[in-house]
Amino acid sequence: MEILSDLKPIDLKEKIEILWDLSGQKILSIEDSYDPSQGAPVFTVKGQYTTMGWTEWTQGFQYGSAILQFDATGAEKFLESGRKNTLEKMAPHISHFGVHDHGFNNVSTYGNLLRLMKEGKIVTDAWEKNFYELALKISGAVQAARWTDTEDGGFIYSFNGAHSLFVDTIRTLRVLVLSHCLGHDLRGEQDVKQNLLERALTHAISTAKYAIYYGNGRDRYDVLGRTAHESIFNVQNGVYRCANAQQGYTGFSTWTRGLSWAMLGFAEQLEFLDAFDDGLPERYSDKKELLEILEKAATATCEFYIENTAKDGIPYWDTGAPNLHKLGDYLSRPAEPFNDFEPVDSSAAAIGAQGLLRLGKYLKQKGDNDRGQRFYQAGLTVAGRLMEAPYLSQDPEHQGLLLHANYHYPNDWDHVPEGSNIPHSESCMWGDYHLRELALYLQRMIENRPYYSFYASVI
């Protein structure tokens, strides 16, 4: 990608204002017309949100979007909508033992509401505060219970089963961190206590070791920063077996949304650890070594994104997609969402942009100005591109906010318009949510408001 070195957050102010105006309209349109008995809305078909998926992993993004809308605009109707739906519909997600998505659903709702209360953005009510805290405590422990021991650590296993480590889960660690900071733990047989922060850090290290490549000859496809969507383990002895993909093309190519989850997840954990003054678990008492592991993974993935993304910073859905070669030198020009061969994934860009910004800021604070500025400017470049045509949806009849998102291309779940060979012009709930989160992150910087972080509710 071509990084715009002179771009500043204030330069995006007008785009952000337009985004929030459009965002509010689309949130209300979904509330007015979507039938929640169908399940959580996942992606759009011909501009209307529908559902299809393997779990209800997007519901927190729907109600969390209303909470972010209130945070950005102060419009009370969105706060009341987010509050009401969180109270009435999110309880099953707290105790859901079958998924690895707690940090998506519950931090986006209960976590954001608790953060707003701590910041004084909403009135503090003792009962309401305790309610949000209890939800996060339980959610973190339930998430941590999905555990597979390995020969050198362990991981939170995906909904595929105990053999499966998903790279996505690096960002769901937030709920374990919040639960720990709220004084909670996981209790097992004979009341044995499991430290939730220790479990989160162990998972992060396993992800860094097995899901991220560093160009050291691990296999024939070992390229610095390449990311495997799924890592497979022998559950009998905890030995790593192979890389795999569920939503990517192969285990030996990089599904770009998985790459973006890693970029953002590692960057957020670095920020948290930098702000965390309490003692670390004894196993990770060497904080310097821990930070080095996480920083290596974060910088490798962010560099890979920059080097393997189209000129304007928008990635295609997989860096090894089999028909990319038919596009010619596709990295030397802006991404082409209306091409005939392979779809882009704007949702990966929305997630990855925030990772670039957070890592850039973190590195600059640590004195690594050159790399930090490079990543930060790359994040601004991607953000600016997403907040304009053809990615920002300005059609009032289209319920999506971020166009040209991709859900599951191998399974053929995405809508392909008549006359096209590939899906395009549709949105997904996580893409819309993360574009809003990206806009809020930048807006708070522009307005000199408190720094937006998942841990602001507990630190």
What is the mean pLDDT, run by run of 10 residues, along the chain of 459 residues? 98 98 98 91 96 85 98 98 97 96 97 97 96 98 98 96 98 98 97 97 98 96 97 97 96 97 98 95 95 98 98 98 98 98 98 98 98 98 98 97 97 96 98 98 97 97
d(CA 97, CA 359): 32
Instruction: Give the residues across from 234 on adjacent strands.
Output: 239
Peptide linkage before 36 cis (omega within 30 of 0): no
Q: Is the dihedral of CA 273, 277, 281, 283 positive or negative?
A: positive
Domain that holds residue 116: 9-457
Quote the Cα angle for 18-19-24, to 5°. 105
d(CA 95, CA 89): 12
Angle formed by the axes of helices 256-275 and 174-181, nearest 10° = 20
pTM of the entire predicted model: 0.98
3 part of a folded domain: no
Quote the Cα angle for 339-342-343, to 5°. 80
210 part of a folded domain: yes
- Helix (H/G/I), strand (E/B), else coil: 220: coil
For residue 249, what are the contacts with CB-CB under 8 A and spacing of at least 6? 255, 318, 320, 321, 322, 410
2 part of a folded domain: no
79 part of a folded domain: yes
d(CA 142, CA 101): 11
Alpha helices in 211-345 (DSSP H): 256-275, 287-307
Q: What is the pLDDT of residue 417?
A: 97
4 part of a folded domain: no
Angle formed by the axes of helices 287-307 and 196-210, nearest 10° = 40
What single DSSP character describes residue 110? I
1 part of a folded domain: no
316 part of a folded domain: yes
N-to-C CA span, the chain: 36
Residue 263's alpha-carbon distances to 44, 87, 212, 282, in angstroms, are 26, 31, 10, 27
426 part of a folded domain: yes
**CATH (domain of 161):** 1.50.10.10
Instruction: Domain count for the chain, please give it.
Output: 1
Q: What is the pLDDT of residue 217?
A: 95
d(CA 137, CA 156): 17
Angle formed by the axes of helices 59-73 and 76-89, nearest 10° = 160
What amino acid is encoded at 405 in this protein?
A: A
